[in-house]
Chains A and B, each alone.
Chain A
Amino acid sequence: MKFLVVDDSSTMRRIVVNSLQRIGFGDTVEAGDGQEALARFDDSVKFVITDWNMPNMTGTELARALRERGEQVPILMVTARSVREDIIEAMEAGVNNYIVKPFTPQILKEKIDALLAAAPVGA
């Protein structure tokens, strides 16, 4: 199953990719912002993990863009933002679940497992 990991921090991308590999998801593609993510998104991507604050196109804008294109791929937001209004905005943009930074690999695994169980997607 291919994961698209979107974050403008290369450190965070490495941490997320490393965490994914550790929990058994080694097929990843990376993007530095929402625009790049849209360019890299294709049918092979089955799961999107995105940061919120990024240049050019934010994580919520990416989620909206994907939903407007009719994409049903699970979107997991991993962000430092944790104000109630932000979380609601992310939900309304089409984000399926939300992880607050700094996160543990256990939380990442729980959220991915829950989303895959709720909406199974092809590997």
Chain B
Amino acid sequence: MTAAAPATRGDRLYDTAASLRLVDNELRAIGAEVPAAPAAPAPQVPAPQAPDLRGRLRALLDAPAEAPVGLAALPLILERVHSEVHAVLANLRDSRAAIESATVENLQRTSARLQEVTSATEVAATDILDALDRTQGMVDDLEAAEAADDRTQSAAVRDRMREEIFGMMGALQFQDITTQQIAAAASVLGDMEARLLQIARLFDPNAAMPGGGGTAAPDPRTFDPNATTRDASGRQALADAVFVTRDPAHPAAA
């Protein structure tokens, strides 16, 4: 027997399926040789392709030409099937740990990202509602200042109102960042979908996602997987430090 290249999981599954088909064909062929009972005609089975089948069996078992085939070869075939199934299971066990670890880690990261989306949305909504409350109070102040014909006070209140409105607009920056966080989560889900399909195809080469198509993955150029609303001042300080470190004369050093 010549040394063969290590079989992949796919090869082993394919060989196992082929072996099982051969066993099935052989059993059908044997069944076809048994005379049918007159009261119940035997179902039509395809004509056994004996010469080809025997050759394939011998090749599959690496058996010499004089080795038994047919029913006599069944124990050998079943032993081969058994060992192939064992090899496939061992491979699946080996890869399971890696798949589990990668999947769990990805899911945890994605879950944390989505929780941050919820949190960022809530913080922004609260900030805007607080600003609206303050602005409503300023409208009262403005009315009072105008009633008293106090132009200085009116101007001051209008300035504060502008600040509040401007602050509300700034709070909407969360939308850009949460869009990126959701895109990153969608990307992870698309990746997991592809991995699951690969695993499904180990068992059924025709496996496909329901509906025919997979999830459309977002363009990776359009989002930062690490985008966050947190610690903006700390991250800004890092950016400034990097610019200054690499270029001491940089304006950020000022």
Q: Which residues of A are at the interface with B, using a C-beta cutoff of 8 A?
A: 7-9, 11-12, 14-15, 18-19, 22, 52-56, 58, 79-84, 87-88, 91, 96-105, 107, 111, 114-115, 117-118
Contact = CB atoms under 8 A, between A and B. Distances in A.
B93 interface: no
Nearest to B180: A80
Interface of A, secondary structure class, is mixed
B14 to A, nearest CB: 41
Contact of B251 (A11, A18, A84, A97): A97
Contacts of B238: 82, 84, 87
B221 A53 contact: yes
A18 B175 contact: no
Contacts of B153: none
Contact of B170 (A7, A79, A105): A105
A55 B222 CA distance: 5
13 contacts: A9-B179, A11-B172, A12-B176, A15-B173, A19-B170, A54-B222, A79-B224, A80-B177, A84-B242, A101-B232, A102-B170, A102-B173, A105-B170
Interface string B220-254: 01111011110010011011101100110011101
Interface string B160-189: 000000100110111111011000000000
Contacts of B179: 9
B52 interface: no
Highest count of chain A CB atoms <10 Å: which of B173, B174, B227, B247:
B173
Interface residues of B, number: 34
B219 interface: yes
Highest count of chain B CB atoms <10 Å: which of A52, A79, A82:
A82
B243 to A, nearest CB: 6
B180 A18 contact: no
A79 B169 CA distance: 17
A80 B224 contact: yes
A15 B172 CA distance: 8
Contact of A9 (B176, B228, B252): B176
B161 to A, nearest CB: 14
A67 to B, nearest CB: 15
Contacts of A111: 251-252
A98 to B, nearest CB: 4
Contacts of A97: 243, 250-252
Given A15-B172, A97-B251, A100-B235, A53 B180 contact: yes
A99 B166 contact: no
A102 B174 CA distance: 7
